Amino acid sequence: MFDKLKKVNELRKLKNSLKDEKIEVKKDGVRVKVNGQMEIEKVEISPELTKRKQEEILTSCINDALGKAQMKAAKKMSKLQN
């Protein structure tokens, strides 16, 4: 029982630490910032780009940032299991 409580506490700490992780991706004047819990914190777009180009780059930035956040979370979780 104490092992389960210990794991729950460790997972809670992991979740809180992921909130502090920041991932930022920049492409062609578009910037996306997410935290380790995969929440978007900031989006900046370039007014110099067409609407279509902004949408394409923004989608790419978000996907890249979320992928990096997932990798960081996976690494932290694997350390927790070892």
49-57 mean pLDDT: 95
pLDDT in tens, 54-64: 999 999 999 99
Q: Kindly report the pTM of this predicted structure.
A: 0.78
Tell me the average pLDDT across 34-38: 88
Sign of CA dihedral 60, 62, 67, 69: positive
Q: Where are the domains of the chain?
A: 34-82
Burial 34-67 (b: 16+ CB within 10 A, else e): bbbebeeeeeebeeebeeeebeebbeebbebbbe
Residue that the structure tokens 């460790």 belong to: 10
pLDDT tens-digit profile of 7-35?
778 778 877 777 888 999 999 999 999 99
Q: Which two tokens stand for residue 46?
A: 């370039």
